[in-house]
Amino acid sequence: MIRVGLLGCGNVAEVIASEGTGINITALYDFEHSHAEHLKELTGAPAFKKFEDFLSQDLDIVVEAASVGAVYEHAEDVLMSGKDIVILSVGALADTDFKNRLIKIAEEKNRKIRIPSGAVMGLDNLKIGQISPMSKVLLRTTKSPRSLRIETNEKTLVFSGRADECIKQYPKNINVAVALELATGHDVEVELWADPDIKRNMHEIFAEGDFGDFYLKIKNNPCPQNPATSYLAALSIITLLKNLEKPMIIGT
């Protein structure tokens, strides 16, 4: 059974621990050590105060469910130590130099960088863009003004432009766009809307190419423990981990 270390022990990690039956969690680390100690009660896995001690454990794969900053700080060390990594905070890979550095280390160490689908669906299908170029990829994300830390009484377009520009203004709202760029191999146009009437975060994906056209709308339910966290994102990691050792692979 694959041995999993959790880097980041917040709400996503708690869903993995409580609902990921059969996932062998063997080590825990969080910058806020109390979070790791809390998860220790659910998993029985040791919680480490020092990242170096966490990384020295006999792990097969490290699951990052912390932040873009945690990816910058720790992803290279994870790969250098001979372990695979799951990166949920994929916004860090908008930095092309950093992304290429991780890929180079992974190749040299014969390791894998795994990107879960996160808060959206359809990435598997959209990978066809890597072999048949797409003419358009648009992400339209709609959230409550509160989650974007703005005030408005009506539906308002707060950003329109490229994903690499959006990340400079709204770094916590760009993970989906970066995941789409990685999947399709195409620049993603982003529309970010604030809507005081919306109850759930909504992502709409539009893509066009030689294959035809594609439209998908996802309305995310929040994690039961924290409305700021996508339940779908947590479930996508559980699904990824459970399929690592299966003999039959579904999809591209």
How does pLDDT run across 21-69, given as a tens digit for each residue? 899 999 999 999 999 999 999 999 999 999 999 999 999 999 999 999 9
Are 39 and 19 in contact by the 8 Å Cβ rule? The answer is no
Judge whether 171 and 160 are in contact, CB under 8 Å: no
Measure the CA dihedral 87/89/94/96, to 10°. Answer: -30
**More reliable by pLDDT, 139 or 226:** 139
Residue 246 and residue 250: Cα distance in Å, rounded?
10
Average pLDDT, the chain: 94
The answer to whether the CB of 165 falls within 8 A of the CB of 108 is: no
What does 33-52 look like in DSSP terms, one character per residue? HHHHHHHHHHH---EESSHH
φ, ψ of residue 127 in degrees (nearest 5) = -65, -10
Among 35, 38, 74, 203, the active-site one is 203
For CA atoms 109, 250, 127, 120, the dihedral sign is negative
Answer whether residue 252 shows pLDDT above 70. no
Residue in the structure block whose two tokens are 């992400």:
139
Domains for the chain: give ranges and CATH numbers: 3-118+232-243 (3.40.50.720), 123-219 (3.30.360.10)
Tell me if 119 is assigned to a ligand binding site: yes
Q: Residue 8 pLDDT > 80, yes or no?
A: yes
Looking at residue 230, what DSSP letter applies?
Answer: B
Q: Is the dihedral of CA 80, 84, 87, 88 positive or negative?
A: negative
- Residue 173's pLDDT is 75
Mapped onto helix, strand or coil, the DSSP state of residue 32 is: coil
Contact indicator for 27, 6 with CB cutoff of 8 Å: yes
Q: Compute CA distances 44 → 14, 92, 182, 211, whole Å.
A: 13, 30, 35, 48
Decide if 35 is catalytic: no
CA distance 104 to 5: 22
φ, ψ for residue 245, nearest 5 deg: -105, 5
Task: Quick: pLDDT tens for 135-189.
Answer: 999 999 999 998 888 999 999 999 999 988 888 888 877 899 999 999 999 999 9
Radius of gyration of the chain (CA): 18
Q: Say what the pLDDT of residue 223 is.
A: 82
pTM of the model: 0.94
pLDDT digits (tens, 9 = 90+) for 98-143: 999 999 999 999 999 999 999 999 999 999 999 998 999 999 999 9
Answer whether residue 229 shows pLDDT above 90.
no
User: What pLDDT score does 205 carry?
Assistant: 97
